[in-house]
Amino acid sequence: MDPVRLLMVEVVEGVGVFLALLTFAIVINKALREVGEALDRHRRTLIEPAVFEYLGAASSRPQRDALPRSSSRRDRRLVEEFLLEAARVVKGETRDRVTAAFEALGSVREAIRALHSRRWWKRAEAAERLGLMRSRTAVAPLVALMSDPEAEVRIRAARALGLVRGSTSIRPLVSALADPSRWSAIRVAEILINVGVEAVDELLVAYETLPLNARVSALDVLGRIRSLRAVGLMKQCLSDAHPDIRARAAHGLGLIGDPGTAPDLIRALRDTEWPPRAMAAKSLGRLRDPAAIGPLRESMRDRQWWVRYNSGEALRALGPEGLEALIDMLSSDDPYARHMAVAQLEEGRVIDHFVADLTSNDAGKRAAAIRFVDKVTAAARIDDTTRQAARSAQEGVRHALSNILKTPSPAPASSPGKGDGGRS
Amino acid sequence: MAEQARILIADGDAPVRRFVAALLVHGGYEVHEAADGESALQKAVSLAPRLLVLDIVLPGKDGFEVINSLKSNPATSRLPILVLSVKDREEDVVKALDLGAEDYVIKPFSPRELQARIRKILERSR
């Protein structure tokens, strides 16, 4: 046979054998995997009842005796997998028993060993597992891992510490708020927020020692945790030298919602800087203290748009009395306050309500609606009302509005530009 | 008997679903699983379970939509629903109950408490 042809036949044969072996290997691999999965399922059905017996047991029987006794690696892996599933969703006494089981099985020791792996993803995975295991013995190694050169590993260690809880694990998280070069403060803050009330004491103790940016983050975290224990610090911070601190404290007090802080927030409406004033107005809307209506009305005349906006929104949140104040602001001598009042009444759909009354059968309601639309017209911000006059679904409303808009009431006595210098 | 009752679990998180299923099987129930809102709706009709344990965060239709659909369908309107969700905001709990859920349990939960609540719902719906 021609040697070239012979070579080609051998090549084809070789490729054929290779492909056949590859196919065989794939089939065997798939079969083994399926057999392995079936075996896992079978073993799991045998293991689960024993683990549930252990998790639900009220006795002080030694954990090692209560857990399934098996020396096979498969069973140990399945028990660990099942406990990790449980660790995600259970709480209380059952959760403590899950942690004790991980310790008894040696899973915690093994995961701590894996924290020293040369591969960063193995370190990250081990940190995550330790977070779910919640063993106190993992705190020191996890704190050490917070200096890992890999950012993802550091953040997983931080999350794990947040899950383990306890003061020794929370303290390094609070310190991490102060190191923006190595941490995203937002991510650390989120972890501390998830820790919840258990983080409050550590934050309060560490607060004075933190740099400015971390103090701002700490106030944010305390506000979001909504612990009344933070109220004293927040009130004190309303007098801080730095406006960011004052603003964050005002915001936090609104989130916490202690009605006793309304007088402090009302005072903060007169802050020399606009961010604390804006945050104080927003928080007063959350507290819903009727005593804030007068000061909020005054803040509707503020030089800064955000303060006016938050004040208007707060009045709207204060219910009928707040809405009454907003309607009253339509006659203000300050055009910016009038415009914000219209905007808030639009957002609160109060204008829609009055416009619908223009065709009411009740003469009193009709007259009130006309007086109201007159006020809106006089406030010189009638874009939305003009749109309603053109597009309202009801012909009667379109007609009534058009008539009022054609003959607007005279504007309030003051000139529109009065006191406007420097307003945003 | 309540112990023989058929329960459908709809949860998008596979490990959580597996754990809750195992817990209920251990409690003596016949358990079926659904991984998304659409299959939860289908199985609620085809399997006619005595109880649906439903998460709010589901792929496709969320838990609120599932409750809404089930309650507006005469074939499933009487199916008791226990919401088991990580969503712990007051408005989510109120919304689920207003839509017609029988009970709301927040994750993480106590397995014993969940079993007790399920037992109570099944007794009431008997």
Chain B residues with beta carbon closer than 8 angstroms to that of A86: 19
Chain A residues with beta carbon closer than 8 angstroms to that of B15: 84-85, 88
The secondary structure of B21-83 as a DSSP string is HHHHHHTT-EEEEESSHHHHHHHHHHT--SEEEE-SS-SSS-HHHHHHHHHHSTTTTT--EEE
The answer to whether residues A138 and A111 touch, using CB atoms and an 8 Å cutoff, is yes
Among B26, B87, B106, B107, the residue to mutate for chain A (most A Cβ within 10 A) = B26
Residue located via tokens 């939860």: B40
Q: What letter does residue A408 receive in the DSSP assignment? A: P
H-run or E-run covering A256: helix A243-256
Please report, for residues A6, A11, A13, A22, A23, the alpha-carbon distance to residue A19 in angstroms, rounded to integers and kept in the order given: 20, 12, 10, 5, 6
By Cβ distance, the residue of B13, B19, B112 closest to A86 is: B19
Among A88, A89, A134, A226, the residue to mutate for chain B (most B Cβ within 10 A) = A89
Residue located via tokens 């800064």: A304
**So what's the ipTM on this one?**
0.82
Q: Do A94 and B16 touch (CB under 8 A)?
A: no
Among A90, A128, A226, the residue to mutate for chain B (most B Cβ within 10 A) = A90
Chain B residues with beta carbon closer than 8 angstroms to that of A55: 111
pTM, rounded to two decimals = 0.71
Nearest C-alpha in B relative to A87 = B108
SS3 B91: helix
Q: Is A288 left (phi over 0), alpha (psi -120 to 50) or beta?
A: left
- C-alpha to C-alpha distance for A254 and A262, rounded to whole angstroms: 9
Which parts of chain A register pLDDT below 70?
A: 1, 57-71, 180-182, 380-391, 405-424
The answer to whether residues B59 and B36 touch, using CB atoms and an 8 Å cutoff, is yes
Let me know if A266 is exposed, middle or buried by CB neighbors in 10 A (0-12, 13-18, 19+). buried
126 residues of chain B, pLDDT tens digit each: 445 799 999 999 998 998 999 899 988 999 999 999 999 999 999 999 999 999 999 998 999 999 999 999 999 999 999 999 999 889 999 999 999 999 999 999 999 899 999 999 999 987
Chain A nearest C-alpha distance from B72 (Å): 31
Residue located via tokens 């219910």: A319
Size of interface A-B (CB pairs under 8 A): 42
- C-alpha to C-alpha distance for A187 and A156, rounded to whole angstroms: 11
Chain B nearest C-alpha distance from A294 (Å): 31
Q: For residue A150, count other CB atoms closer than 10 A to its CB.
A: 13
- Residue-level pLDDT at A353: 85
